[in-house]
Amino acid sequence: MAQKIFIWGFRDNDLQGISFLDMHYYIHSLVSMRNLAVACDMHDSMSLIRFQEQFKALSVASRDDRTDVPSPMAAQFLVDSNHLAFLMSDEAGNICLFNYMPETQESNGGERLILRGVLNVGTNVNAWLRIKGHTSLFGLSPAEAKLVAQQQTCVWASLDGSIGIVRPISERQFRRLHFLHQCMCNSVGQFAGLNPKASPLHSTSIYILVKDTSEKGIGILC
């Protein structure tokens, strides 16, 4: 409800309030996994929320404290075996990857989520779905098959009807795909005039002042 997050328990055929938390402005997206949740605030990016069942306490474990960033649209967990990351899409068509790393100096003791990567997909992603990881490769070793079974794939859907996936891959797979990407950028013609290296870069909304003939400033949102 607006800036408040509530936890309800179902007991004796009735909902009973357990805990609540006051956030900043307006929470419009909330995704949970076990005792963790990621909340998207309309004007204050994303927060990682933790629920301590023993004390019935709901608190903010970490958050994205960047300023002047586009408003978030949706968020989801990214599971890779015993590693956990957080995905967030914003109004500028970016998909941001965060990690909770309290041992690093830049995280300020865990209060700040570490931004590990940003990819611009050219569309506004407004929905995420987390499913079990699958593979179509044959002849996998038992260790590789077990690793794939411990991964999860995040499927996203956008406002223009397009869909895509985000999933963790090994370093060997990344190097192969990166090599293929470089070859395609250098060999395949771009008929739409789209720069294959510059288009996925991070995009942000900024104001540019332009002067017209009447010497008045005009704000253009880019």
Per-residue confidence (pLDDT) for residue 46, from 0 to 100: 92
Per-residue confidence (pLDDT) for residue 205, from 0 to 100: 55
Cα distances (angstroms) measured from residue 206 to each of 68, 93, 222? 9, 14, 6
3-class SS string, 169-185: CCHHHHHHHHHHHHHHH
Would you give the DSSP letter of residue 159?
T
Give yes or no for a contact between 154 and 76, defined as CB atoms under 8 angstroms apart.
yes
Q: Which amino acid, residue 146?
A: K
What are the pLDDT tens digits along the chain (222 aa)? 678 888 888 888 898 888 888 888 889 989 999 899 999 998 888 999 999 888 888 999 999 988 888 889 999 999 988 889 999 999 988 999 999 999 988 888 889 999 999 988 888 999 999 998 777 766 777 777 777 788 899 999 999 999 999 988 888 888 998 899 888 888 887 777 777 777 666 666 544 444 444 443 333 333
pTM (two decimals): 0.79
